[in-house]
A and B are shown apart, each in its own frame.
Chain A
Amino acid sequence: GENVEQHPSTLSVQEGDSAVIKCTYSDSASNYFPWYKQELGKRPQLIIDIRSNVGEKKDQRIAVTLNKTAKHFSLHITETQPEDSAVYFCAASRASGGSYIPTFGRGTSLIVHP
């Protein structure tokens, strides 16, 4: 089955700095890579995603890059703000039937210090 490794487990930055979270996956059949943000006690929320036919996607301060050959993808957050503090999860998903099978990373706790 799919195996997703996520690093680092904890990331502490100063407000205004950039943050990068990296994930690797093992199954070459995975073709959809979402990122979720989960605040304490809240539900995971999709913040950005990328499909395997695209190398990079950007949405304001967040961007995701994908290297299919190396089987790794990364989340980049620029100009971090205290409200970016949360746990971020990556996932690698492959299509199966009419839906997708996701495998999640263990999460990165991002702490942004004012």
Chain B
Amino acid sequence: EAGVVQSPRYKIIEKKQPVAFWCNPISGHNTLYWYLQNLGQGPELLIRYENEEAVDDSQLPKDRFSAERLKGVDSTLKIQPAELGDSAVYLCASSYGTGKQFFGPGTRLTVL
């Protein structure tokens, strides 16, 4: 069984530029999570989807961040415009009802 796939693995951009991250969850997993992980810290939840519905986006900075999960499978997370403080690893995870989450490899974003 294929795991959670994320791309790109690394992204370097200049501040004020837009950036997008893509996630493909494990087949059949209806719940998808996006996290932000700063160096030396635990993952922080940004948004949680159940199928195509964003059921919890209270921690998503909506002035610059947006996300979508069309058709309830793949998801994209976008930042526009990026700021220096957005440099971090962006993790995607999926699960199916049990709470057990399976993480993708993450996208390491560097904003210059």
Residues of A near any B CB (own CB < 8 A): 6, 32, 34, 36, 42-46, 49, 89, 91, 93, 95-107
Contact = CB atoms under 8 A, between A and B. Distances in A.
Interface stretch (B14-22, B40-48, B67-75, B79-87): B40-48
12 contacts: A43-B103, A43-B105, A45-B103, A46-B101, A93-B99, A97-B55, A99-B30, A99-B97, A100-B31, A104-B43, A106-B42, A107-B41
A16 B102 CA distance: 29
A102 B30 contact: no
Contact of B102 (A46, A89, A98): A46
A46 B103 CA distance: 9
B101 A102 contact: yes
Given A101-B45, A107-B40, A34 B103 contact: no
Contacts of B62: none
Interface of A is mostly: strand
B99 A95 contact: yes
B50 A97 contact: yes
Contacts of A93: 99
B24 interface: no
A99 B100 contact: no
Contacts of B91: 43-44
B95 A105 contact: no
Nearest to B55: A97
B7 to A, nearest CB: 14
Nearest to B59: A1
A5 B101 CA distance: 20
A58 B99 CA distance: 19
A99 B43 CA distance: 17
B25 interface: no
A100 B42 contact: no
B41 A100 contact: no
B66 to A, nearest CB: 21
Contacts of B99: 32, 34, 49, 93, 95, 99-100, 102
B55 to A, nearest CB: 6
Given A96-B56, A99-B48, A102-B45, A44 B95 contact: no
